[in-house]
Amino acid sequence: MTPGAAGTHRVVVSLGSNLGDREDNLAGAVVNLGDAPGIDVVGLSPVYETAPVGVEAQEPYLNAILLADTSNTPLAFLERCQAIEAAFGRVRTHRWAPRTLDVDVIDFDGLTRDDPALTLPHPRAHERAFVLIPWVTLDADGVLPGYGRIADLVRGLAPADVAGVVRRDDITLGVDADLHLGREPH
């Protein structure tokens, strides 16, 4: 699929893991999304280590943002993300529970949708440092529908939230470091 081709949609995906081999879990999500029919990974942020949100008594997360072009519908794309989570042992027990893999659809080509199956944009993305900071490093001009520019949202984060997001340049997820927005994956 050619990035930006007619019938494709730009998707922003948040990846997170705080159980098991966190690095392998994130790398597996990138590979599985890239291998899925109708999905081309076009960008991957640096990896960040982040404090858990909502529950402090758990291990820190590794997080990254992935950009993809897809010909899938929003629900088909979500189903693919949930299948990848399940393949990596994700068990949904309670809100803010630790997880082997979290693959969240943050934005689907600017679509606004209020549905129990998939709310777009992701309802808390605008206040999550672990989403916004990796996203702004990948796409400085990015916009979260209904909330504005990602760079402006990052500037509005509380200092304590920003301090809890630490870039981990020692982790590359085994993915080609030349993967950038708007370029074909290698």
For residue 161, the domain's CATH number is: 3.30.70.560
Q: Judge whether 182 lies within some domain.
A: no
Asked if 101 and 17 touch (Cβ cutoff 8 Å), the reply is yes
Q: Judge whether 184 lies within some domain.
A: no
Longest dimension (CA), the chain: 46
- At 170, list the tokens: 């020692």
Q: Judge whether 177 lies within some domain.
A: no
Owning domain of residue 86? 9-167
Q: Judge whether 181 lies within some domain.
A: no
Q: For the chain (length 186 residues), average pLDDT per consecutive 10?
A: 70 95 94 93 95 80 96 96 89 69 96 93 95 95 96 96 94 62 35
- Integer Cα distance of 75 and 6 in angstroms: 19
pTM, 2 dp: 0.88
Structurally, the chain folds into a number of domains equal to 1
Q: For every residue of the chain, which 3-state class applies, written as one string?
A: CCCCCCCCEEEEEEEEECCCCHHHHHHHHHHHHHHCCCEEEEEECCCEEECCCCCCCCCCEEEEEEEEEECCCHHHHHHHHHHHHHHCCCCCCCCCCCCCCEEEEEEECCCCECCCCCCECCCCHHHCHHHHHHHHHHCCCCEECCCEEHHHHHHCCCHHHHHCEEECCCCCCCCCCCCCCCCCCC
Q: Judge whether 67 lies within some domain.
A: yes
Q: Judge whether 75 lies within some domain.
A: yes
Q: Judge whether 97 lies within some domain.
A: yes
Q: Judge whether 85 lies within some domain.
A: yes
Which pLDDT score, from 0 to 100, does residue 100 have? 85
- At 131, list the tokens: 């989403």
Which pLDDT score, from 0 to 100, does residue 182 have? 36
